[in-house]
Amino acid sequence: MIDRQTQFASRFAGFRRAGALVCVLLLAACGKDAPPQAPAKPALSVAVVAPQTVDWPRTLSANGDVVAWQEAVIGAELSGLRIVEVAVDVGQRVRKGQGLARIDAATAASEQAEAQAAVAELEASVAEARGNAARAKELQAKGFYSQQMNTQYQTAEQAAAARLVAARARLDAVALRLARTEIKAPDDGVIAARSAAVGSLTTAGQELFRLIRGGRLEWRAAVPSADLGRIVAGGPVRITGPGGATVDGKVRQVAPAVDPATRNGTVFVDLPAGGALRAGMFARGEFELGRAPALVVPQAAVVLREGFAYVFTLQGADRVAQTKVGLGRRQGELVEIVDGLPAAARIVAAGAGFLADGDLVQVLAAGGGQ
């Protein structure tokens, strides 16, 4: 019995020594230093820039239509005659008095010949009546003709002269009718529309051509009444067409009245000849109202998130902070910051959309290298 107890105690002591050894080993292991953690890596390599203060124009934006400065409607003045020639087409520049179309003149020419013959006949009659009146007056003075007979000859002369005047008036009317068989440009300009066609019959007052006088176009901008007072005649305007082409215009006049339905006033802007804009286009323009300093940053530095604009400013040497800003005017690749950004700040110039608030970054050298 004792031997068994001794063996058990010996074994238990062995277990205790083994357990103690394990504890010693565990304690030794716990006492060793932990391996060092790897340093945090930058989220992005970025270039930083400082905002710039530049002298920018103050502008007012508006929309409007491009129309002809003045448009002349050219039509026929004769009815029932056939067009035999059309000399111009849409888009062609014409000079004042240039022939645009020709109407059949055969009828008018025959009427003119008839009127000329009537005038010649009456001229002969007037010459004969004048001679008779002169002889009657002379004979009446010698007592061969009575006063009544003399009066008859004088009256016959006056009647013949009156008929000649009427015949000459008819000849002038026929000549005018003949001249109207050739339709001419009333002024210099550009043909904007043409409905005349060879073989068609004319109607008095019918539109055959539409002419942009002088080829001049204007932009009629609709401006809110509250802003009309800021626009002055002669001010510069930059107009952008539907295709992105821009032209420089000049304010000619501001309408003296405002549309009571829209509360907008019309501003008339002269456009240069030969520009990219065409009559009938809808265009957007900016009126220059003066110049003022602006704090600007590259447009690529601005990030739009949840309806707000942000830039990332450099905090310290290698961390960025998301900063909410207010935007103003835009010009080219630059945008104005109106609030939220100190002038001395340094901001991420590009790639800000890949950053988050508090990110670690690697700042590139000014030359673009690391």
pLDDT digits (tens, 9 = 90+) for 179-225: 888 999 999 999 999 999 999 999 888 899 999 999 899 999 999 99
Question: What backbone phi and psi angles, to 5 degrees, belong to 213?
Answer: -65, 125
pLDDT digits (tens, 9 = 90+) for 247-284: 999 999 999 999 999 999 999 999 998 788 889 999 99
DSSP 105: -
Mean pLDDT of the chain: 84
316-322 average pLDDT score: 89
108 confidence band (pLDDT: 50, 70, 90): confident
- Structure-block tokens of residue 317: 């040497």
DSSP 202: P
pLDDT at 84: 93
Reply yes or no on domain 74-100+181-215 having CATH 2.40.50.100.
Answer: yes
- Structure-block tokens of residue 17: 């020594």
The C-alpha atoms of residue 231 and residue 287 are separated, in whole angstroms, by 8
Question: Is the pLDDT assigned to residue 19 strictly greater than 60?
Answer: no
Residue 303: strand, helix, or coil: strand
pLDDT at 11: 47
Out of 2.40.420.20, 3.40.50.10860, 2.40.10.10, 3.90.1150.180, select the CATH number for domain 46-55+293-363.
Answer: 2.40.420.20
pLDDT digits (tens, 9 = 90+) for 342-355: 988 999 988 888 88
pLDDT at 37: 54
Q: Which amino acid does the sequence have at 212?
A: I
CATH of domain 105-180: 1.10.287
314-327 average pLDDT score: 90
85 CB-near residues (< 8 Å, 6+ apart): 101, 102, 198
pLDDT at 39: 60
Q: Show me where the domains of the chain are located.
A: 46-55+293-363, 61-69+216-291, 74-100+181-215, 105-180
pLDDT at 192: 92
- Structure-block tokens of residue 307: 């309806």
The C-alpha atoms of residue 90 and residue 92 are separated, in whole angstroms, by 6
pLDDT at 347: 92
Q: 189-194 and 282-298 as β-strands: parallel, antiparallel, unpaired?
A: unpaired
74-91 average pLDDT score: 91
Angle at 139 between CA 136 and CA 140, to 5 degrees: 80
Question: What backbone phi and psi angles, to 5 degrees, belong to 170?
Answer: -65, -40
pLDDT at 136: 77
25 confidence band (pLDDT: 50, 70, 90): very low
Q: Which CATH superfamily is domain 61-69+216-291 in?
A: Efflux pump adaptor protein, beta barrel domain (2.40.30.170)
Angle between helix 106-142 and 147-179 (nearest 10): 160
Strand partners, 83: 103
Q: Which amino acid does the sequence have at 339?
A: D
319 or 140: which carries more pLDDT confidence?
319
pLDDT at 366: 59
Give the residue among 77, 89, 72 at the shortest CA–CA distance from 183. 77
